[in-house]
Amino acid sequence: MSKINRLVSVAPMMDCTDRHERYFLRLISKNVLLYTEMVVSEAIDRGDKDRLLSFDLREKPVALQLGGSTPRLLANSAKIGEDYGYDEINLNLGCPSKKVQKNKFGACLIKEPNLVADCLSEMINSTSLPVTVKTRIGYDDVEDYEHLYNFIHTLKDTGVKTFIIHARKAMLGKFTPKQNLNIPPLKYDYVYKLKQDFKDLEIVINGGVTSVEEVKYHLERVDGAMIGRSVYHSPYLLADIEKEIFNNQNIKDREEIVEDLIDYVKAEVKKGTRVNQVMRHTLGLFHGQTGSSHWKRYLSENMCVRDADVKKIDHIMDKVRLSPKLHSSGRID
């Protein structure tokens, strides 16, 4: 099994990183590691596995993120994930939402390191894939570095080698998920110190990463950087990541990406996918470009509505080609 490159990855985000978003992002970047939305182990056990887990192999490398706290179910889900062709299995210990807490998974499990260790041990024993952890630096009033150190130390003894650390604590039951992404202060120094204290572990930093410059800064101190909302709102940021982090200059321009996406949408519609399920992810493709509002408006009015007509997909290129300078500048005027 080849080693997974986690130098830069895109964070698992609910209602964002579904298979259509991952396919779209892979058109821009061939090197970043992509993650699924969190998939609950109980849902895999009882539900439609194909609906939950099927994906296009052109998305690879892709990590499956699981949520849960029952060792047996998590282990079974990890094995099923391997069978479906995923490259990594990740356990979510970072989601702070009340719904997630009620079902006893996500960030509330930081309170129960021994249970988490049991879950990880069974997962590791069930699959040949790497099992990784995504967690926060603490919760509520528990935010001292010593607690984080002890938590990671307990989990690493299971055999986990890779930890993705969101450099904020989780406020359980006090903040909304959105507030938990912004209000708790970032403590990057905690993550840097983890790497110093656990040199044998792969430490990936997450939280508030918005630019190539910030990625470079973090990579001088830890092993990888994970980007979330910035990529969702401005996906072509990954083109700069490819060029400056992975030294890949063979990048598709925005027009080429749109052309490839048209073919994908048409194929997906034949399978029963709605146009808006794909195109809603592309609103930010021209972010920062002159005339990007025209792109967003056209998509919002024609492609991102539930009953969008697939025949209108071909007119997207008419919008893209409005500017004679598009081929060189990527602008929409």
C-alpha 76/C-alpha 136 separation (Å) is 25
The one-character DSSP state at 139 is: B
Residue of 74, 164, 163 whose CA lies nearest to 124: 74
Phi-psi region of 90 (alpha: psi -120 to 50; beta: other; left: phi over 0): beta
C-alpha 227/C-alpha 214 separation (Å) is 10
CB of 53 closer than 8 Å to CB of 44:
yes
> Could you give the residue ranges of the DSSP H alpha helices within 164-211?
177-180, 188-197
C-alpha 263/C-alpha 311 separation (Å) is 12
Q: Is 108 labeled as catalytic in the residue annotation? A: no
User: Could you give the count of Cα atoms lying within 13 Å of 307 in the half-sphere of its Cβ?
Assistant: 0
Residue showing tokens 């410059």: 213
Radius of gyration (C-alpha) of the chain in whole angstroms: 20
C-alpha 66/C-alpha 41 separation (Å) is 6
CB of 282 closer than 8 Å to CB of 230:
no
- Please provide residue 95's backbone torsions phi and psi, each rounded to the nearest 5 degrees: -70, 125
Q: Which of 16, 95, 119, 304 is catalytic?
A: 95
Dig out the tokens for 317 from the structure.
């290129």
Active-site annotation, residues? 95
